[in-house]
Amino acid sequence: MLNSDISTKAFYKVDMSLIDFYLSIVNEFRGGTGTRMNRRNLAMNASQREQLQKALQGLILKFAYTDTHMKFTSVGQPATVQRFIMKRTNEQPREMTVEDYFYNYKGIELEYGNLPTIQCGPSSKTIYIPMELLRLSDRVQRVKKRLSDFQLARLIKESALDPQKRFERIEFMLNGLDSSEKDAFLQAFETEIGNRFVRLDGRVLPSPHLELFNGFSIPVKDGVWPLRNRVTEAPIKVIFGVISVNGAIKMDEFRDPFNVLMRACELFGMEFARSYRNAAEEVFKGSWDTDDGDVSSLMPIINAFKKNVALTDVEDVRPMLIFVVPKEDSRIYAGIKVACDREAGIASQVISTKTFRRMAGRAENNAVAHNIFLKINVKLGGVNNRVLQRCLDWQKFTDYEEPTLFIGIDVTHPSSGDTTSPSIAAIVGSEDVAATRYSCSLKVQASNAERVVYMVDAMRERLLSFIRRTSLRPAHIIIFRDGVSNSEFVDTMNDELSSLKAAMNRLDSDYNPTLSYVVIQKRHRTRFFVERDEFARGKHNVPPGTVVDEEITSPNMFDFYLCSHLGAIGTSRPAHYTILYDSWNLSPDDWQQVAYALCHLYARCARSVSIPAPVYYAHLACQRARFYLKEALSRSNQQMAVSRELERMVEVHENAPRMYYI
């Protein structure tokens, strides 16, 4: 069976001047080329040269004055400074600047002589070309580096095709292939390729009902549920502080949006240790000016907030700092999270100025305030919703007599081209029988190693955490594992189940719960298209809960495809579940129902998501740890070798929220 699909990649612009290319970097690749300054003294500092060095790594450049193409080597000194030994036939060798060479021998007077030169070709040769005389190659070059947040958002937007358009493009591509009769390769293997898509039957699982405050239940329709009632659990004795970063919001104009957020928090059940009726007086306000997210300059402000909290004559308060930032900036975000999660152990929420100002009007119907509340609530120990216990087969997995521990594991790797950064693994485990609260263990390991190296301690932590919080031993343990390729199924499963068994043995040699191990894959090319319009949802996608477990599945293993979310943009991509080990002997219906139910427990939004919450949380924890690591290493000269020191860089403060990564 041939699997056909289309793919989208990012490419560099062709034949773009190097100065314009650099200015586009300064402008965060937002489509503009910046203002080209016509001044001889235009120059770059050391930090900017380093930025250019990273951007050009691996690229082919073209000389503007010839048709020569060479690979980038390094960023040199300005053309007015960079010197080399000139050797010509019948002339004495003499030293000269790059600027003099181009003026005397090429007849080119440089306009930007203070910009750095670029060394091209073999590093053993001294080929230095001024920036203004270089262009990106007119040959197509694929972007191999990690895209910025803005670039990634733009790529996703450009590549998000609704199902009908995607179907048509795939069909057009297949029709353009040579017929089997003309293809010698296919004939040699006596193989034919048909021109019709596979038609198959899918089932739509019933959506679970969700439980809110005092057992009140609400239905889920097309993967979405309303936010109109008190959440299942909301914290009390909460104290807020607001910090404006780089003048993101004036303190005299933050009142209305802040009041809307506070009102939304009250509507959903949160209680405060202070009255915020007069936000100008009651809330702690601070400002932080920074270019690079320096943690040391933020800590005095956080400590001032903690002292302010201590003045409250209330015990067991729950402090929360809201940071308003002008725009998304990974360095500033990393600094905030390192300061709050690792140094101070305090809950934090970062909001852009644009988003903050959208919290206006009535709190009852302000979706922005509602979504921010969902994050804040969970960070402060609340629960947004549960799956109703009597719903579907969920009771089997949330039975207090035989509770289930859900574990999610993910490993994130550095971007392609980054050969020094380590990989980060997250092991997330549930802490309550209802599978709504999760804590996390992090590990740093060798770059691009998919298997988690020695995770006995992490597994033991997850077991002990569940036992301490519930006073129960899990009778069943289910591991959801993300990101494993088919060729690594067996080895990865054996290693990680061995670690779990060793952790269980340390706890009690007679402890013997059932174990299950499931791999979830999203990086595949399988897509489903609705044949009849009445079944379509969103952008004409398959409805949430669609399951396919025949015809396109493995003949040797138990696997199925589940599309658990509403495809509001582009074409929905189902998750591919493969059950590699199951000593509980669950039925196919059990597996499909538990996976679908867990997709409704992701706390950041009021909709079902594409993968179960435990593995989604593991992915978020890996992302947060990557911020910690980058921030710490950016301020030191350490090599990115895996060491205990790197492990400490991703450890959070003992007082940090248990779900700090939300």
- Read off the pLDDT of residues 359-417 as tens digits, 9 standing for 90 and up: 988 999 999 999 999 999 999 999 999 999 777 689 999 999 999 999 999 999 887 76
Report yes or no on 592 lying in a domain: yes
Q: Is 297 helix (H, G, I), strand (E, B) or coil?
A: helix
Checking DSSP bridges between strand 69-78 and strand 116-120, what pairing results, if any?
antiparallel
Residues 394 and 267 occupy one common structural domain:
no
| Widest Cα–Cα separation across the chain | 95
∠ Cα 640 644 646 (to 5°): 40
Confidence of residue 29 (pLDDT cuts 50, 70, 90): very low
Checking DSSP bridges between strand 238-245 and strand 318-325, what pairing results, if any?
parallel
Predicted confidence at residue 236, as pLDDT, reads 94
Residues 267 and 400 occupy one common structural domain:
no
Residues 309 and 416 occupy one common structural domain:
no
Residues 478 and 627 occupy one common structural domain:
yes
Residues 307 and 451 occupy one common structural domain:
no
Q: CA-CA distance, 239 to 595, in Å (whole number)? A: 36
Q: Please give the residue that has the higher pLDDT: either 402 or 253.
A: 402
Predicted confidence at residue 149, as pLDDT, reads 74
Confidence of residue 641 (pLDDT cuts 50, 70, 90): low
- Look up the CATH number of the domain holding residue 238: 3.40.50.2300
CB of 614 within 8 A of CB of 598?
yes
Report yes or no on 97 lying in a domain: yes
Total domains in the fold of the chain: 3
Q: CA-CA distance, 437 to 380, in Å (whole number)? A: 11
Confidence of residue 126 (pLDDT cuts 50, 70, 90): confident
Q: What is the mean pLDDT of residues 290-295?
A: 91
Q: Which of 346, 379, 412 is the last residue of a domain?
A: 379
Structure-token pair, residue 158: 């450009």
Confidence of residue 638 (pLDDT cuts 50, 70, 90): low
Q: Which of 331, 359, 379 is the last residue of a domain?
A: 379
Residues 367 and 436 occupy one common structural domain:
no
Q: Is 581 helix (H, G, I), strand (E, B) or coil?
A: strand
Residues 423 and 521 occupy one common structural domain:
yes
Sort 613 into a burial class: Cβ within 10 Å, 0-12 / 13-18 / 19+.
buried
Q: Which positions ≥6 away from 44 have C-beta within 8 Å?
A: 52, 115, 116
CB of 470 within 8 A of CB of 433?
yes
- Look up the CATH number of the domain holding residue 29: 2.170.260.10
pTM confidence score: 0.88
Q: CA-CA distance, 480 to 482, in Å (whole number)? A: 7
Confidence check: pLDDT of 640 > 80: no
Confidence of residue 344 (pLDDT cuts 50, 70, 90): very high
Sign of the CA dihedral with 269 first, then 274, 275, and 278 last:
negative
Q: How far apart are the first and last CA of the chain?
A: 40
Residues 396 and 369 occupy one common structural domain:
no
Residues 254 and 326 occupy one common structural domain:
yes
Give tens-digit pLDDT for 522-548: 999 999 999 988 888 988 999 999 999
> Chain centroid to CA 258: how far?
27
Report yes or no on 567 lying in a domain: no
Report yes or no on 441 lying in a domain: yes
Confidence of residue 33 (pLDDT cuts 50, 70, 90): very low
Residues 453 and 585 occupy one common structural domain:
yes
Predicted confidence at residue 452, as pLDDT, reads 83
Report yes or no on 3 lying in a domain: no
Predicted confidence at residue 446, as pLDDT, reads 82
Average pLDDT, the chain: 91
Distances (CA, A) of 425 to 439, 458, 549: 14, 10, 30
Q: Which of 379, 401, 433 is the last residue of a domain?
A: 379
Can you give the residue range of the structural domain that contains 605?
388-527+578-649
Predicted confidence at residue 358, as pLDDT, reads 96
Predicted confidence at residue 38, as pLDDT, reads 44
Q: Where are the alpha helices (DSSP H) in 57-195?
A: 98-105, 149-159, 163-175, 184-188
Long-range contacts: 307-314, Cβ < 8 Å, 24+? 308/241, 308/284, 309/239, 309/241, 309/284, 312/239, 312/273, 312/274, 314/237, 314/273
Give tens-digit pLDDT for 62-104: 999 998 999 999 999 999 999 998 888 788 888 999 999 999 9
Least confident range of 279-288, 337-346, 424-433, 588-597? 279-288
Element (H, E) at 301: helix 295-310
Confidence of residue 179 (pLDDT cuts 50, 70, 90): low
Least confident range of 190-199, 528-537, 609-618? 190-199
- Look up the CATH number of the domain holding residue 505: 3.30.420.10
Closest to 477 (Cα-Cα) out of 614, 361, 371: 614
Residues 401 and 316 occupy one common structural domain:
no
Report yes or no on 538 lying in a domain: no
Report yes or no on 67 lying in a domain: yes
CB of 611 within 8 A of CB of 522?
yes
Report yes or no on 552 lying in a domain: no
Confidence check: pLDDT of 630 > 90: no
Q: What is the mean pLDDT of residues 296-309?
A: 97
Closest to 594 (Cα-Cα) out of 329, 396, 431: 396
Residues 357 and 496 occupy one common structural domain:
no
